[in-house]
Each structure stands twice: as C-alpha cells, then as structure tokens.
Structure 1
Amino acid sequence: MITLNSVSKHYPAGFGKTYVLRNIDLHIKEGEFVSIMGPSGSGKSTLLHILGLLEDASEGEYIFMDQPVQKLNEKKRTALHRDAIGFVFQAYHLIDELTVYENIETPLLYKKLSKNERKSKVADILDRFNIVAKKDLFPSQLSGGQQQLVGIARALVAEPKVIFADEPTGNLHSEQAEYIMDTFKELNQKDGITIVQVTHSEHNAQFGNRIIKLKDGWLD
C-alpha cells in the first residue's frame, strides 16, 4: 500500500542543505497498524507529512496505492488525498466556528454527495462514537478527549483507506489517551483501516503491530 524508496527530505541552509530525513526505505501493507517513534527532531512528523501527502520528499520515490506520488499532477494528488487519507492531529485542528456536526461533515463537502447522503454518513459516525448529544456544540464546549474523538470521526467519515495520526493523544490525560488508542485499535482490527501513528509513548506504540524507529533522520 505504501512504499518509500530512498526518500530524503532537506531544506536549504546557507549555501548547503539541512537533512531532516535520509534514505528512508519503508513498506507498509494494507491493514497494518504502524507506530513511528524517535526523539524530538528525529524527523517523525516530517515523515508522516510526506506519507500523508502534506509535504513532498526532496529525493527518492513514494508509491501510494500503486500511484507514483511525485509524478501526479495537483488535481490527481488532491483527489488521492481526499479519497484515501484521513488525518488526526495532536492539536485536533477542529474549526472553532463550526459545530461538531459541521466539523465532521466538512470532508464530505468535497465529495459529490447529496445532502441526504452527507446527513446519513454523519449520523452514522455520531452514533458510532456516542457523540450524538454533542452534535450542536462547538469545539470550545468539549473536553480534549471529546475534541479528539470528533477529530477521529471527521477523519473517518469519508471512509479513508489509511489514517495518519500525529501524536494523537499528546494533549490528553491518561484515561482519555487510553480510550483514543483503543478506538484506533478497533478501527484497525474490525474495520481493517491501515493506521500509521507518530508517538513519543512506548505504551501507545504497543497498540500497533510494528514499530519503526527514527534517529537523526535515519531509520534506526
């Protein structure tokens, strides 16, 4: 499903380059739950952003669902992102001015769905996450754990093939964090959704079936 061949990422620095990732070779199969670990500055988030089509690699080849990412034009790349990828962020990234319902509906507005189809999908996911009672609230009226649940619901509503999660429990206390990680595990095992998470937590990493370690931009 995901293949990286000799992928590097660098930024200009003076007359040279600063490398954030170097020669990454990686293969992730459909249905895997992979945890990416490493100290701060090791390149974890950059790697996740490249995998999630939020950033481009500087060198190397990225194949995502049989598509050579570097060769895709902007339109095809946007369509691939919209149809296949869900993203969950540490800082939730909910839209403050929108209700829970509207936040979850947002990804569906970019698909050619009727209002009734959108309504049905949002209703199903609200029900699944037991947040029907919260649908008319705004993010500021929710706890951190509830906001992250809404973030996951939003990532899932468009039925992605893979979810990329960047420190998804970083702002939560331990009970909320455990619930979020259990939710990911269930999505992976019951729904077969591929999950790739970046985490500092050894405990959270164990929810995956494989751990990838990065150090100074290299695979450890």
Structure 2
Amino acid sequence: MLLELKNIYKWVTSGGSRVFLLKHINLAVAEGEFISVMGPSGSGKSTLLNVIGMLDNFNEGTYTFLDEPVHQLKEKHRAHLYKAYIGFVFQAYHLIDELTVYENLETPLLYQKVKSSERKALVADMLDRFQMVGKKDLFPSQLSGGQQQLVGIARALITKPKLILADEPTGNLNSSQGEEIMQLFKQLNEEEGVTIIQVTHSEKNAAYGSRIINLLDGVAV
C-alpha cells in the first residue's frame, strides 16, 4: 500500500464552533492507481490533496505513507518524505516567474542536492521529452498556458516521484491542451507505474482514473 488515511478529520474554528473541512475520510491507495477526486466547490477536494501531499495538517485520524506514520513525524522528516516521493501539479502552474524554463525544472533537484552533472542530464531529458529544448531560456510569461502547464508537469516529474498530486491540472487550458495533459498522465500511470491522484470538475478527465471518489461537504460519498 502506498498510502492510507484512516478516519481523518480536519476543521477550523469559527465563532466558537467547528467548521469541518474533512470528515471521517478513509482512503487506501495502492501503488500504480489512478484516482479522480470530484465534488462541488468547497467540498474539500483541495484540502484532501493537501493533506495527502503533507502540505496541510489534520486534527484527528492517522495517515500512513510508505509505512511511515505521517501524523507522528516531525516537520523535517515529513518534508523529506514529500520532496522524495511526491510531485505536485497545480492549476495555477506555480512556476517561478524570475526563473527560465531550465531553471524552473532544475529547482526541485537543487532541493534534493543532486550533483550538477546529473542535474544537467535530468533537465536535458525532460526538455527533450516535452519538446521544450527551444524554450529552455524563456521565462514563464513568454509561454502559453499549455506550455506553462507542461513545464509544471515536467518539474513535478523530474525527481521521479512515486505519487503525482494534480489539482485541476487542465483548469486553465483549452480542450486540446487539456486532452494532451490527460493522455500524458495516462501514459505515466500505465507505462511507468506512477500513482496519480487528481482533483477535477470534469467528468471527462475523471474518467481517465480507475476509481472516482466523490466528496460532498468534506465527506466521501
């Protein structure tokens, strides 16, 4: 099992009462699964993704990732886990505006203290794979939305993560760009065994997953 959430609750306190963001979430994910999370705005989809990605804490329950009890780990150990095994793809791309495409791709490798020669090889490989060699010296503002999202995905993949968490990955793209991204995810999942959990509003995108989880008011229905 790659990860398991047991009886997860997350709330914020507002005006002296609890507002639940997640309630009684139980989820087991095996390596190589492709899961789609759906639900209306405010249903807790992004919160769930952030909890799985260790960007958000929770109030009750247990979370095991690769047999490590995430809920008991110190911040530093948690950060090591997600940097080593998890790649994030966001709707808003989250590229660093002041860095070129090349430098954006290199950034996660710097976090992991990968040697310079290996960094060069890995970045070159990604530029080649995503047909962006000619764009390596451009800045994000010089790219189209689809190109920015491809850079975002390349950056998520460069550390060879076991798990990709994608939050509305095609939300800002036109339909043909969106389809290209989904086909890419499908290929990563089927050919390379990367586990993918995506949050999406789109029935069409959700259908790429082998399993769909529907959230409503923080509860899996």
Q: TM-score normalised by the shorter chain: which range applies?
A: over 0.9
- Any idea what SS the aligned residue of 1:160 has? coil
- Any idea what SS the aligned residue of 1:19 has? strand
CA RMSD of superposed structures (Å): 0.6
- Any idea what SS the aligned residue of 1:182 has? helix
- Find the counterpart in structure 2 of residue 115 from structure 1: 116
Question: In 1, Cα distance between the equivalents of 2:73 and 2:218?
Answer: 26
Structure 2 letter corresponding to 1:10: W
Question: In 2, Cα distance between the equivalents of 1:199 and 1:24?
Answer: 18
Deviation at 1:154, TM superposition (A): 0.2
Question: In 2, Cα distance between the equivalents of 1:54 and 1:75?
Answer: 12
Q: Which moved more, 1:198-207 or 1:105-114?
A: 105-114
- Find the counterpart in structure 2 of residue 140 from structure 1: 141
Deviation at 1:30, TM superposition (A): 0.3
Give the unaligned 5+ runs of structure 2: none
Q: How does 1:43-54 map to 2 (within 5 A)?
A: 43-54=44-55
CA offset digits 1:142-201 (Å, max 9, x no partner): 110000000000000011110000000000010110001111111111110000000000
- Any idea what SS the aligned residue of 1:88 has? strand
Q: Which runs of 4+ in 1 moved over 2 A?
A: none
- Find the counterpart in structure 2 of residue 7 from structure 1: 8
Question: In 2, Cα distance between the equivalents of 1:140 and 1:52?
Answer: 27
Identity %, equivalent residues:
61
Question: In 1, Cα distance between the equivalents of 2:59 and 2:38?
Answer: 22
CA offset digits 1:108-162 (Å, max 9, x no partner): 0011321111000101111111111111110001110000000000000011110
Deviation at 1:13, TM superposition (A): 0.8
Q: How does 1:1-220 map to 2 (within 5 A)?
A: 1-220=2-221
- Any idea what SS the aligned residue of 1:20 has? strand
Deviation at 1:209, TM superposition (A): 0.7
Give the unaligned 5+ runs of structure 1: none
CA offset digits 1:91-116 (Å, max 9, x no partner): 00000000000000000001132111
CA offset digits 1:16-55 (Å, max 9, x no partner): 2100110001111000000000011110000000000110
- How many equivalent pairs are there? 220
Question: In 1, Cα distance between the equivalents of 2:115 and 2:52?
Answer: 30
Q: What is the TM-score of this pair, normalised by structure 2? A: 0.98
